[in-house]
Amino acid sequence: MHSGSTGHDAHAVEHGRELAKRVLSGDWRSLARAITVIENDEAAADALAAALYPKTGHAHVIGITGPPGSGKSTIVDVLVKVIRDQGMTVGVVAVDPSSPFTGGAVLGDRVRMQRHAGDAGVFIRSMASRKQAGGLAPATRDVIRALDAFGRDVIIVETVGVGQVELDIMKVADTVVVVTVPGLGDGVQTIKAGLLEIADIFVVNMADRPGANQSVSDLKIMLTLGGAEERRRRWKPPVIQTVATAGTGIAELWERILEHRRVLQADERMGRSHDRLRAEVVEAVQHRVGTIVSEQMSRNGSMEPVLAAVLRRELDPRTAASTIIAQHFK
């Protein structure tokens, strides 16, 4: 999220609106450019996001996560083919929070692109953690919105499931798919507790390996043990087996995703979306207030005496924060 005076720069606003217009008209290159503007949090990002936002809310967002080596990318590739065969358009966002470089990700793009090259119904983009000052999850959310406004029917977000950032990214999805494989470490143990709670569908990939049935029943037991969350009242997460390299089970995965989409009743969807948007606004306020406070401190302004007292250990950071809020927030 871009903040500060340049955000109100007339040229940047004009540029953002123009770019949004071209994205909404279906221009592929403008979409790629718009995503870069969002990723790099350029001056035009605010106006661009504002102009795209009213046109969002159409796409179904699928999150796919799992440990490295579980075959997520192959699943995504085959799933894209299944979805395209039904005439729907797809956007894919591959996020690697552990990498500060886009190098590997970009290479991955090229390898993938070969399969879907020339198919205007598939748009693939990789993201890494290099540039997103506001955080990778908020940037991913805005990239998904750009793809949504562009008119994609289905958007797939793929990430490696190990940390908090990945969990935050998965929270933007309507349907969360968690992938594991038989005999990977402790197998089911590799699925972090946080993921278990937000998963809507489990996939045991490489199900032709020994131990696949064991993994499935382990997962089912874990699901029984982990008390049902509110959102699970109408939906019991299925556990399905796939061999993505042979294409086996991916059609079933897609069926289950569509089923989950239907089961997500309108009111439930509204509730989720309400909670998410509320959290997003709060987060954006926090981010901008942080920028304002940080800038005022650097400028030796009204907050400097407070910071100086903290440095002299006369005032602790918590009390300093309360003081600043009392002085500046009404």
Binding site residues, a copy of itself, CB under 8 A: 1, 46, 49-50, 52-54, 56-57, 97-98, 100-101, 129, 162-165, 192-194, 273-274, 277-278, 280-290, 292-294, 297, 306-307, 310-311, 313-322, 324-325, 328-330
> Distance between CA 154 and CA 280 in Å, rounded?
22
Minimum gap (Å) between residue 294 Cβ and a copy of itself: 5
Q: Are 129 and 99 in contact (CB under 8 A)?
A: yes
Q: Are 195 and 100 in contact (CB under 8 A)?
A: no
**Degrees, nearest 5: CA angle 205-208-213:** 75
Minimum gap (Å) between residue 41 Cβ and a copy of itself: 11
Nearer to a copy of itself by C-beta: 84 or 192? 192
Nearer to a copy of itself by C-beta: 234 or 274? 274
Nearer to a copy of itself by C-beta: 162 or 251? 162
Nearer to a copy of itself by C-beta: 36 or 291? 291
Six-digit token pair at 158? 């793929």
Q: Which residue has the tokens 């390996």?
A: 209
Minimum gap (Å) between residue 266 Cβ and a copy of itself: 14
Q: Spell out the residues 6+ positions from residue 284 whose beta carbon is closer than 8 angstroms to its own.
A: 1, 138
> Distance between CA 144 and CA 122 in Å, rounded?
14
> Distance between CA 309 and CA 306 in Å, rounded?
5
Nearer to a copy of itself by C-beta: 161 or 249? 161
Minimum gap (Å) between residue 244 Cβ and a copy of itself: 24
Six-digit token pair at 169? 């990214």
Minimum gap (Å) between residue 31 Cβ and a copy of itself: 18
